Amino acid sequence: PLAYDPLLIQAYWSARPRKLQYRLDQFIQLTVPFFSNLVSLTVSGGSEALKKNSVPLARQVRTAFERLGPTYIKAGQVLSSRPDLIPPEALLELSRLQDGVGTFPTQIALRQMEAELKQPLAAVFQGISKSPTAAASL
């Protein structure tokens, strides 16, 4: 839906249980190792161990956010601008989400545009560059 509608969203995901399960599995697969490390470090060494391992933990979070997609990348970008919440060593790692995220394959983007428009791009545009001129996480 183009506007927030809980009933439409529920209907959409109810019709796609496998997609929803796949996304949940992906989330669990990427977040459980991080939280396991976090708990293990906290139990074994407390805040000192967390501080000592803040960069590897931040790297793990950044990688998970990149793999989970644009919404999580945006969350990481927000965190990377919060020195009141994130240790300085970890901020640098998360700041890579500001301008260091990998590109999205152009061919997939062009096919998606044609699918959305329900016609070839040449029927809509006089010309379209095969290389992107800009990128954004959302």
Read off the pLDDT of residues 24-56 as tens digits, 9 standing for 90 and up.
999 999 999 999 999 999 999 998 998 899 999
131 shares a domain with 115: yes
Q: Are 94 and 111 found together in one domain?
A: no
Has residue 96 been placed in a domain?
Answer: yes
59 shares a domain with 88: yes
Q: Which residue has the higher pLDDT, 100 or 119?
A: 119
Confidence (pTM): 0.73
- Residue 1 in any domain: the answer is no
Domain count across the chain: 2
Handedness of CA 15, 19, 22, 28 (dihedral sign): negative
Looking at the chain, the whole-number percentage of residues with pLDDT higher than 90 is 67
The residue assigned the tokens 């791009």 is 121
Pair (86, 118) in one structural domain: no
Q: pLDDT tens across 57-73, in order? A: 999 999 999 999 989 99
Conformational region of residue 37, where left means phi above 0, alpha means psi within -120 to 50, and beta covers everything else: alpha
Q: How far apart are CA 16 and CA 24, in angstroms?
A: 13
Average pLDDT of every residue of the chain: 90
